[in-house]
């Protein structure tokens, strides 16, 4: 069953402001409805869920000032994604949301090559009726983590929570911090990287720093200096795909163990090369872990904060790096 607030969340009506006139419809919907991405907005238009001045709309339409846009977000629907009894490490749960501690190797949502065995499959088994805003393949997903990134992930259980949390994420009121190891040494203990990120024009599986990319910023704080790598705290100001990995590679310090953005061959030479090779051998995957998550509860207004320790494989590699650096 869905309460009245959730039903109201699904029906939106907007009058186009002069400053919004001429904006392509799918982009405008993504701007007006915080929890809906541009691709999701385009899908809603194509599904007939958007009307412009009372008529069926095209996603390429460019409304004028004073035009009326009506958007209906469908309720959760039966999905072909199969619920699966996959163990979940739940740090927090109530009627509105969950905080999951995701292990490395678990894909967040179904995608080509990963139709099953995902976090969404597990959530559909655990939660009877997830928020429908994320679409058929991403119900409840407020933000995501890469497959080989572990740590804290926020999930909405109903549309009201999903809308509020997505708005908070866009307004940077959800704080997310990661622990990562990067090759080499930052020039200072604390830096802020601001560089736009977009899809690589030459490698479709990669993102890249591009002049035409979306604004992106990450703050890095060195926690420990190892022989040929730094242990860093990375805090996201924005949430682009692969953001931490792209920004660190962009400044010449790729994430240790990163198969996509790291160097094809370890470039560290001299007396530290053997140390670096050993650290790389100790790591089964990229050294990136979502360690901290804090936000305001969308219904109660309570401030919530969670921490996740490094998983055993990363903790063991860090301890070796720490011990082998002492006295050097």
**Buried-state track 6-41, b at ≥16 Cβ within 10 A, e below 16:** beebbebebebeeebeebbbbebbbebbbbbbeebb
146 is catalytic: yes
Of the residues 26, 146, 148, 258, which is catalytic?
Answer: 146
Structure tokens at 130: 């997830």
Phi, psi (degrees; rounded to nearest 5) at 147 = -50, -45
Most confident of the ranges 7-16, 75-84, 120-129, 303-312: 303-312
CB 83 within 8 A of CB 121: yes
- Average pLDDT rounded to a whole number, residues 69-74: 88
Q: How far apart are CA 2 and CA 76, in angstroms?
A: 10
Q: Which of 76-80, 215-219, 232-236, 273-277 has the lowest mean pLDDT?
A: 76-80
- Average pLDDT rounded to a whole number, residues 269-293: 94
Q: Which residue has the tokens 């259980």?
A: 157
- Average pLDDT rounded to a whole number, residues 44-60: 87
Query: Which candidate, 37, 289, 69, places its Cα nearest to that of 162?
Result: 37
Q: Which of 175-184, 262-271, 305-314 has the lowest mean pLDDT?
A: 262-271
Q: Give the pLDDT confidence of 14-38 residue by residue, as tens digits.
A: 999 999 999 999 999 988 988 788 8
Q: What is the pLDDT of residue 138?
A: 58
Q: Model-level pTM?
A: 0.74
pLDDT band at 277 (very low <50, low <70, confident <90, very high): very high
pLDDT higher for 71 or 117?
A: 71
Most confident of the ranges 71-75, 238-242, 315-319: 315-319
Q: Give the pLDDT confidence of 188-215 residue by residue, as tens digits.
A: 999 999 999 998 888 878 999 999 899 9
Q: What is the pLDDT of residue 1?
A: 43
């Amino acid at each position: 069953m869905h309460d009245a607030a959730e039903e109201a969340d699904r029906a939106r009506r907007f009058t186009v402001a002069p400053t919004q006139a001429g904006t392509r419809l799918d982009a405008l919907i993504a701007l007006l409805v915080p929890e809906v991405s541009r691709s999701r907005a385009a899908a809603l238009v194509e599904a007939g869920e958007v009307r412009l001045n009372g008529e069926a709309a095209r996603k390429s339409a460019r409304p004028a000032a004073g035009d009326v846009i009506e958007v209906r977000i469908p309720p959760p629907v039966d999905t072909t994604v199969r619920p699966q009894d996959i163990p979940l490490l739940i740090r927090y749960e109530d009627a509105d949301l969950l905080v999951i501690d995701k292990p490395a190797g678990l894909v967040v949502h179904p995608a080509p090559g990963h139709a099953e065995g995902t976090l969404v499959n597990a959530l559909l088994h655990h939660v009877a009726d997830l928020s429908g805003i994320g679409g058929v393949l991403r119900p409840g997903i407020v933000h995501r983590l890469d497959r080989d990134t572990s740590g804290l992930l926020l999930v909405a259980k109903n549309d009201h929570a999903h809308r509020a949390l997505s708005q908070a994420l866009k307004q940077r009121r959800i704080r997310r911090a990661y622990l990562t190891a990067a090759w080499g040494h930052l020039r200072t203990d604390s830096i802020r990287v601001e560089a736009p990120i977009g899809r690589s024009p030459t490698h479709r599986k990669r993102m890249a720093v591009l002049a035409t990319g979306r604004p992106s910023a990450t703050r890095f704080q060195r926690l420990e200096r190892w022989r040929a790598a730094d242990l860093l705290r990375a805090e996201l100001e924005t949430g682009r795909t692969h953001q931490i990995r792209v920004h660190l590679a962009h400044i010449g310090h790729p994430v240790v163990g990163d198969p996509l953005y790291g160097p094809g061959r370890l470039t560290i030479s001299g007396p530290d090369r053997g140390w670096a090779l050993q650290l790389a051998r100790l790591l089964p995957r990229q050294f990136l872990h979502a360690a901290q998550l804090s936000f305001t509860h969308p219904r109660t207004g309570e401030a919530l904060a969670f921490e996740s320790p490094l998983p055993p494989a990363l903790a063991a590699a860090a301890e070796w790096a720490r011990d082998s650096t002492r006295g050097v």
